[in-house]
Each structure stands twice: as structure tokens, then as C-alpha cells.
Chains A and B, each alone.
Chain A
Amino acid sequence: DAMVIQNPRYQVTQFGKPVTLSCSQTLNHNVMYWYQQKSSQAPKLLFHYYDKDFNNEADTPDNFQSRRPNTSFCFLDIRSPGLGDAAMYLCATSSVGLVTMNTEAFFGQGTRLTVV
């Protein structure tokens, strides 16, 4: 059974048209991450939520925003997609405590975004 679900699997959007990608989880994990993965590259962290605490990476463009209305859901908003934003977007979750080290991240299947 899927535990981290991303919708849609494939998204085509027009240049400059806002788009939202969604992620839901049934694991009740307190941390949710968004990664961007371009072709044949490593996943790159955009931001993450530790509970309701939002943590943005320093080099994440302002064009990317995120919302986490509750524990189960997290959204990635791209305000004005450019051609360079075409990528796979991966959502992941972890259950993280004060001393845990070995908690792996559980990933969704990703949303492949095409910008035309």
C-alpha cells in the first residue's frame, strides 16, 4: 500500500502559469521534504517542514513555495514556472526525534513536471 502519495504523476504546465503539486502521507510522520531532481542528477532539497516549522534552503528560488495545512498533506507551489523548472519533484517523509539517526526517508513516486 502506498504510504506517500504524490499527485499527479505527470503534470504539463504552460510557461508562467502557476502550478501546484500535492503530497499526502499515511505514516503520520512529522517531517515532510520536497526535492527537485533533474535528469540524471541527484535530488536537490528545496525545503522541508518539521511539524509546522518551515525550513527553506538558501538557494531555493522564491518562485517555489510550500504549504502544509496538516500533518498528512504538503503542497509545492510554483508561482511562475520556467523551462528550467522542468524536473521530477519528489516528496518524502521521516519520523524524526531528538536523537534518531537511522530514520530513513520514505519517498513518493514523484511528479514529473513538463513546462511548455
Chain B
Amino acid sequence: AQKITQTQPGMFVQEKEAVTLDCTYDTSDPSYGLFWYKQPSSGEMIFLIYQGSYDQQNATEGRYSLNFQKARKSANLVISASQLGDSAMYFCAMREGRGGRRALTFGSGTRLQVQP
């Protein structure tokens, strides 16, 4: 079974508008961390935001916020005020268990295109 599911292969958004990228996850471990990464066409993976399973509040980092709904096992990324430079692939990822020895498991990604 897929641990991370991103159901939107591609998304379009107008510049300056907000966009939500969906992510659902599957784990039986009570301790886990959820991450979002951005991958521009140049290839590097850029860390955006983190949400821990025990965190009471939704994470925010500048224009990025994470809509964490634990009961639904969803961790959607919200980008406010989209910019042309936001056009990229976006990956949701999860690390299960304490200790962090386990590597990140990635979803299949969403390609976001910001239109002027």
C-alpha cells in the first residue's frame, strides 16, 4: 500500500492567488513527521515545511502553511500569494518512528504551474 498519496499530478494557479496541494498518508506508527519539498527543474529538493504527528498547531513558514488533519491522515500544503517562481514539482514525504533512522518516503508529486 502507498504510504504517501498525492492525487493531483498537475495544478494551475494564477499569480497572487492561493493554492492547496493535497497529500494523504498511511501509517500505524503514532510518531511520524510530514515534510513538503519543492523540486524546481534544476533538480535539487528544497525543504519547505515540517509537521510532527504530536504538534497541536498547523505549521507555517512564510507563504507556506500545512493544513494538518490527523484524523483524516491528510497534510495539505497551502501556498498563499503564488509567485511565478513557485512553478515546480512539489513532493509530500513522511518519516515514521522516533529516532529518525528511517528515511523519507515520498509521494508521486504534484507539478504546479503559476500563470501570470
A residues neighboring B (CB under 8 Å): 31, 33, 40-43, 45, 48, 50, 55, 88, 90, 92, 94, 96-110, 112
Contact = CB atoms under 8 A, between A and B. Distances in A.
Nearest to A41: B108
A64 to B, nearest CB: 15
By CB atoms of chain B within 10 A, which of A41, A43, A103, A110 has the most? A43
Contacts of B103: 33, 45, 48, 105
A109 B109 contact: no
Interface of A is mostly: loop
A98 B50 contact: no
Contact of B44 (A96, A97, A107): A107
Contact of A94 (B98, B100, B107): B100
B107 A42 contact: yes
B99 A96 contact: yes
6 contacts: A42-B106, A43-B45, A45-B104, A99-B98, A102-B33, A112-B43
B1 to A, nearest CB: 15
B12 interface: no
A101 B43 contact: no
By CB atoms of chain A within 10 A, which of B43, B47, B99, B108 has the most? B43
